[in-house]
A and B are shown apart, each in its own frame.
Chain A
Amino acid sequence: MDNQKWEVVIGLEIHTQLATQSKIFSGASTAYGAEPNIQACAVDLGLPGVLPVLNEEAVRMAVKFGLAIEAEIAPYSVFARKNYFYPDLPKGYQISQFELPIVGKGYLDIEVDGVKKRIGVTRAHLEEDAGKSLHEDFHGLTGIDLNRAGTPLLEIVSEPDMRSAKEAVAYMRQLHELVRYLEICDGNMQEGSFRCDANVSVRPKGQKEFGTRAEIKNINSFKFVEKAINHEIERQVDLIDAGGRVVQETRLYDANKDETRSMRSKEEANDYRYFPDPDLLPVFISEALKAQIKATLPELPGAKKQRFIEQYGQDDESATTLTSSRELADFYEQVVQLSAGEAKLATNWMTGDVLGALNKAGLDISHCPVSPERLSGLIKRIADNTISGKIAKQVFDKLWNGTATADEIIEQEGLVQITDMGAIEAIIDTIIANNQGQVEQFRSGKDKVFGFFVGQVMKETQGKANPAEVNKMLMAKLKG
Chain B
Amino acid sequence: MSLTADDVKKIAHLARLGINPQDEDNYAQDLSGILDLMVQMGSLDTSEVLPMAHPMDQSQRLRPDKVTEQNQREKFQAIAPQVEEGLYLVPKVIE
Q: Could you list which residues of chain A lie within 8 angstroms of chain B, going by C-beta atoms?
A: 20-22, 26-29, 35-42, 45, 47, 53-59, 78, 83, 85-87, 92, 100, 133-135, 138, 140-146, 252, 263, 265, 269, 271, 273, 276, 278, 280-284
B53 and A87 contact, CB distance less than 8 A: no
User: Which B residues between 13 and 71 are near A, CB-CB below 8 angstroms?
Assistant: 14-16, 53-54, 56, 58-69, 71
Complex Cα distance, B58 from A11, in Å, reads 36
Complex Cα distance, B67 from A22, in Å, reads 5
Complex Cα distance, B89 from A47, in Å, reads 17
Complex Cα distance, B88 from A13, in Å, reads 30
A142 and B60 contact, CB distance less than 8 A: no
Q: How far is the CB of A285 from the nearest CB of chain B, in Å?
A: 10
The 4 closest A-B pairs by CB, nearest first: A27-B68, A143-B87, A57-B65, A56-B62
A144 and B88 contact, CB distance less than 8 A: yes
Q: Which residues of B contact A45 (CB under 8 A)?
A: 76
Point out the residue from A29, A35, A92 that lies within 8 Å of B69, measured CB to CB.
A29
Point out the residue from A56, A135, A276 that lies within 8 Å of B65, measured CB to CB.
A56
B63 and A54 contact, CB distance less than 8 A: yes
Q: How many A-B residue pairs have CB under 8 A?
A: 128
| A86 touching B93 in the complex, CB below 8 Å, given contacts A22-B68, A41-B69, A59-B62 | yes
Q: How far is the CB of B12 from the nearest CB of chain A, in Å?
A: 12
Q: Which residues of A contact B64 (CB under 8 A)?
A: 56-57
A36 and B68 contact, CB distance less than 8 A: no
Q: How many B residues are at the interface, by size bracket?
A: 35 or more
Complex Cα distance, B69 from A146, in Å, reads 14
Q: Which residues of A contact B61 (CB under 8 A)?
A: 53-54, 281
A282 and B54 contact, CB distance less than 8 A: yes
Instruction: Indicate with 1 or 0, residue by residue over B60-86, a CB within 8 angstroms of chain A CB atoms.
Output: 111111111101110011000010111
A141 and B66 contact, CB distance less than 8 A: no
Q: How far is the CB of B92 from the nearest CB of chain A, in Å?
A: 5
Complex Cα distance, B93 from A281, in Å, reads 34
Most chain-B CB neighbours within 10 Å: which of A265, A271, A281? A281
Apart from A141-B92, A281-B59, what 4 extra A-B contacts exist at CB < 8 Å?
A35-B86, A53-B61, A83-B15, A283-B60
Does B1 touch A at the CB level, under 8 Å? no
| A78 touching B92 in the complex, CB below 8 Å, given contacts A41-B69, A53-B61, A56-B63 | no
Q: Which residues of B contact A59 (CB under 8 A)?
A: 62
Complex Cα distance, B64 from A22, in Å, reads 9
A85 and B16 contact, CB distance less than 8 A: yes
Complex Cα distance, B64 from A280, in Å, reads 16
Q: Which residues of B contact A87 (CB under 8 A)?
A: 88, 90, 93
Q: Which residues of B contact A54 (CB under 8 A)?
A: 60-63
B87 and A55 contact, CB distance less than 8 A: no
Point out the residue from A56, A100, A281 that lies within 8 Å of B58, measured CB to CB.
A281
Complex Cα distance, B95 from A263, in Å, reads 6
Instruction: Name B86's closest neighbour in chain A (CB-CB).
Output: A36
Q: Which residues of A contact B71 (CB under 8 A)?
A: 38-39
Q: Which residues of B contact A265 (CB under 8 A)?
A: 94-95
B95 and A21 contact, CB distance less than 8 A: no
B53 and A133 contact, CB distance less than 8 A: no
A41 and B14 contact, CB distance less than 8 A: no
Complex Cα distance, B90 from A143, in Å, reads 7
Point out the residue from B54, B67, B73, B88 that lies within 8 Å of A38, measured CB to CB.
B73
Complex Cα distance, B94 from A87, in Å, reads 11
19 A-B contacts (beta carbon < 8 Å): A27-B67, A27-B69, A28-B69, A37-B86, A40-B76, A53-B61, A56-B62, A58-B65, A59-B62, A100-B53, A141-B89, A141-B91, A141-B92, A143-B87, A144-B89, A252-B95, A281-B58, A281-B60, A281-B61
B91 and A142 contact, CB distance less than 8 A: yes
| A36 touching B95 in the complex, CB below 8 Å, given contacts A26-B69, A28-B67, A53-B61 | no
Q: Which residues of A contact B88 (CB under 8 A)?
A: 37, 87, 143-144, 146
| A271 touching B69 in the complex, CB below 8 Å, given contacts A141-B89, A142-B91, A144-B89 | no
| A282 touching B60 in the complex, CB below 8 Å, given contacts A22-B65, A45-B76, A142-B93 | yes
Complex Cα distance, B86 from A26, in Å, reads 21
Q: Which residues of B contact A41 (CB under 8 A)?
A: 69, 72
Complex Cα distance, B64 from A468, in Å, reads 64
Q: How far is the CB of A184 from the nearest CB of chain B, in Å?
A: 12
Point out the residue from A37, A100, A252 that lies within 8 Å of B73, measured CB to CB.
A37
B66 and A27 contact, CB distance less than 8 A: yes
Q: Which residues of B contact A83 (CB under 8 A)?
A: 14-15
Q: Which residues of B contact A134 (CB under 8 A)?
A: 87
A284 and B85 contact, CB distance less than 8 A: no
Most chain-A CB neighbours within 10 Å: which of B16, B59, B82? B59
